[in-house]
Amino acid sequence: MAEVYLTPEGKKELDDKLAYLKNIRRTEIAELISEARAQGDLSENAEYDAAKELQAKNEYEIAEVEAMLKNAIVIENAASDNNTVAVGSTVMLHNITRNKEVEYQIVGAAEADPFKNRISNNSPVGNGLIGHKVGETVEIQTPGGAMVFRIKGIKG
């Protein structure tokens, strides 16, 4: 697995999720399996099969979260000079193409959420902004066509 960029909050969320999956969800699923076993013949027991499927999904999710945490790079004070866009920066932009003000936080793919204006450093816009400074105008090729942004401000 490649490097996974996380904010401190994102790492905490993954740590909490892993603890839940291992300590609470595993126990809940074990109880479901135990209850299904108590019903007798396992060869035709749909509840047992469903519980075992839940168990497999949970273990897969645990492995996935552990791999992400193993390869995590925690972003702290990404733009301490507040002058250059970096992973972890919040960027205030004027979208010249659409004539509107926008604000994005550049995060790793694991934390990207366009509904919260958190875009991945691997996305066309996120990647296109990294390394640029306040006052610069940047043209970025997106799947929807070229977009032009002016960087108005950066918060770390």
pLDDT tens, residue by residue, 90-130:
999 999 999 999 999 999 999 999 999 999 999 999 999 99
The reported pTM is: 0.75
Residue labelled with tokens 């799947």: 143
Q: What is the number of structural domains in the chain?
A: 2
- Residue 47 near residue 98 (C-beta atoms within 8 A): no
Q: What is the pLDDT of residue 79?
A: 47
Same domain, 69 and 109: no
Q: Which domain holds residue 27?
A: 4-74
Residue 150 lies in a domain: yes
CATH at 30: 1.10.287.180
Same domain, 59 and 95: no
Residues of the chain with pLDDT under 50: 79
Q: What is the pLDDT of residue 80?
A: 58
Residue 119 lies in a domain: yes
Q: What is the pLDDT of residue 156?
A: 74
Contacts 24+ apart (CB under 8 A), 9-13: 10/107, 10/108, 10/110, 10/111, 11/69, 11/72, 11/74
